[in-house]
Amino acid sequence: MASKSSKFNPLLFFLLLSGTTISVAGSGGIAIYWGQNGNEGTLAKTCATGKFPYVNLAFLNVFGNGSNPELNLAGHCDPASGGCVSLTTDIRSCQKQGVKLMLAIGGGIGRYSLSSKLDARNVSLYLWNAFLGGKSKSVFRPLGDAALDGIDFDIELGSSQFYDDLVRYLKSYCTRSQRVYITGAPQCPFPDRLMGTALNTALFDYVWVQFYNNPPCQYSTGNTTNLIKSWNLWSRSLRAKKLFLGLPAATQAAGSGFIPANVLTSQVLPVIKKSPKYGGVMLWSKFWDDQSGYSSSIVSAL
């Protein structure tokens, strides 16, 4: 398609030439969860679509309270036998394309909790040495040598205790050459029962609130009121850099809260994009997005 001619902008030309990131007001991206269905394609192919600036690898669903941490990547590979170290190649490929990769901890099924501040410190050291920029001869790296960009908190079970300490410890490992991104997926009732204290640390970079499976604060057929009201509350109250609208990528991906793409782009996005904290949309999950094509239907409207 031919574009209209425009005047040459020397400043814009310089910024593009120098590789400077240009921020556009109201622009956003898609965060997606990958790892819980072996039929959703590889991590490398997920990044190669160019649609997902943020990918959460799900889940480390056993950790803390004296347990041996366990990574569950469903049908993709078997971490316990060393079968996932080959993902190092995929991780590096994604990062070369500018995609941020986080390890998602928690989830709706698992065995995890933190028993003390010391336990939080021990879990943070494990995460740092096993998945991030740390190195320890005594810690096996399930995904190989490549370092992920951060940790995503999806705490849906157990207690809220000591996750704020875990966040602080993880952020303390940041160096000039290795930033540790902290992201999270709280439920939309505000404040989140299990993650509220951690979110109050104001150390989260990105928060993708789950606006689904929670009727009081989600979309219902023909009604965006509760959803918008909840978004505005989160936007006013959240102490984080960017806020994302978390949604199921297909009707089957959640019990409730699915928003048809045309409703999202015409009735919801124009409202929430006015928020200075707007970061985009989070989708559960890559598998369900493959089935529905949801991300392709909304990406140009973000």
Q: Which residues are identified as catalytic?
A: 156
Neighbouring CB atoms inside 10 A of 96's CB total: 9
| Closest C-alpha to 236, from 190, 194, 183, 198 | 190
Q: Could you tell me whether strands 111-112 and 54-63 are parallel, antiparallel, or unpaired per DSSP bridges?
A: parallel
DSSP string computed for 53-66:
SEEEEEEEEEESTT
User: Nearest 5°: phi and psi at 50?
Assistant: 75, 5
Question: Are 69 and 126 spatial neighbours (Cβ–Cβ below 8 Å)?
Answer: yes
**Residues 219, 163: Cα–Cα separation, whole Å:** 29
Question: Are 32 and 56 spatial neighbours (Cβ–Cβ below 8 Å)?
Answer: yes
- Strand ranges (DSSP E) for the chain? 29-34, 54-63, 70-71, 100-107, 111-112, 150-155, 181-184, 204-210, 240-248, 278-284
**Residues 184, 196: Cα–Cα separation, whole Å:** 11
